Amino acid sequence: MRFRPFLTSFCVALSLLPGAASAQAPTPPAAADAPLSAAGQALFAGAPTPHLVAKQFSFTEGPAVDRRGNIYFTDQPNDKIWKYDLAGKLSVFLSPAGRSNGLYFDKKGNLIACADGQNQLWSISPSGQEKVLVDKVNGQRLNGPNDVWVSPQGGLYFTDPYYKRDYWPADRTGPTEQYVYYLAPGAAQPVAVDKTLRQPNGIIGSPDGKLLYVADIGAGKTYRYRLGSKGELIDKQVFVEMGSDGMTLDERGNVYLTGQGVTIFSPTGERLAHLPVPAAWTANICFGGADMRTLFITASEAVFTVPMRVRGVR
C-alpha cells in the first residue's frame, strides 16, 4: 500500500492484508493468459493493460468509491487511508487509521472500515471521526475483519479470516472461528451467517440487495447466496472454482476476482477475461471516477487503473 498522484477515475469494495499477512494467504491459481473472448474484449475501452498510477506504498488494499467517484484506499502497514479526488489530488484522509483493511461507503457517506489493529469494525465520518461499530462478538475478540459490504438496507456483511499481523502484541491469542457476519441496521452485535467456510475473504453484493458473493480463499472457491429478508444467506452455490482476495461487480453483473491479476466472470460463471497485473499480489479492486468507468486496482506496493466501457456499481 503506497502511492503517488494518478488519474481522475476510480473504484469500490473488499481484501487480504499487508506484507507478511499476504504471504500467508493461499494463492488462487493463475488464470491462463488466453486471448480475450469477444465478450471480454468488449468490457475494455482500449487495450486491457493496467496503467501504473502510483508506487509509493507498502501494501495497498481496500479501495472504495464515494458517491462522487472519489477513491479511498488503505496502506495498511503504514496505517493510512488515502484519498484520490476527481481533481487528481492525492491526500492522506486518515492516519492513524486503525490498521484498516477493507473499506466500503454507506448511504450516509460514512466510510465503513475493517480496522483490525484492534480487530474492530469502524464507521468513519466524512470529517474523519471514528466510531466503533463492532468490538467483540459475545465477548470474544474477532480474528480481524477483512472485507465489508453495505447492503441497500444498511446492513453490514463482513468476513473475519485469520491472518497473523506483525503489529499485534506477542500475547494475542490464535484464531477463532472464521465466519461471515451480518450486522443488522441498529443492532449492537453481528450474527454469523455462514460458519462453513475455511477462510472467507473477499465479499460484494448486488446493488439490488438480492445477491451476495463471498470468496473462500482457503478453499479456492467463490460462493453466491441469495439474501433473505432478515439478512440471512439462502441457497448457497459455488459460483466459480477460484478464491479471491477482493472483488467487485459491474453494471452487467460480471464479477471481478483478484489474486494473481484480475479474472472476470459473467453472471453465469463463464470466464470472460484474465488481466495480468505487474505485481506480486493483486489484493483488491473497484470502479470509480465521475462516470464509474475506471477500474482501480490495489496491487502490492502500487495502484493501477484500466479504462472500461462498462460502469461499476455502488
Please give the domain boundaries of the chain with CATH numbers for all domains. Answer: 19-165+174-296 (2.120.10.30)
The three three-digit cell numbers of residue 111, written as one number: 466510510
Pair 306, 295: CB distance under 8 Å: yes
* Helices (H), ranges, the chain: 19-24, 38-41
Amino acid identity of residue 32, one-letter, is A
Mind listing the pLDDT tens digit for each residue in 152-162?
A: 999 999 999 99
Q: CA torsion 255→258→264→267, rounded to 10°?
A: -20
Per-residue pLDDT at 34: 59
Q: How many residues does the chain have?
A: 314
Mind listing the pLDDT tens digit for each residue in 208-236?
A: 999 999 999 999 999 999 999 999 999 99
Q: Identify which has the larger pLDDT, 39 or 149.
A: 149
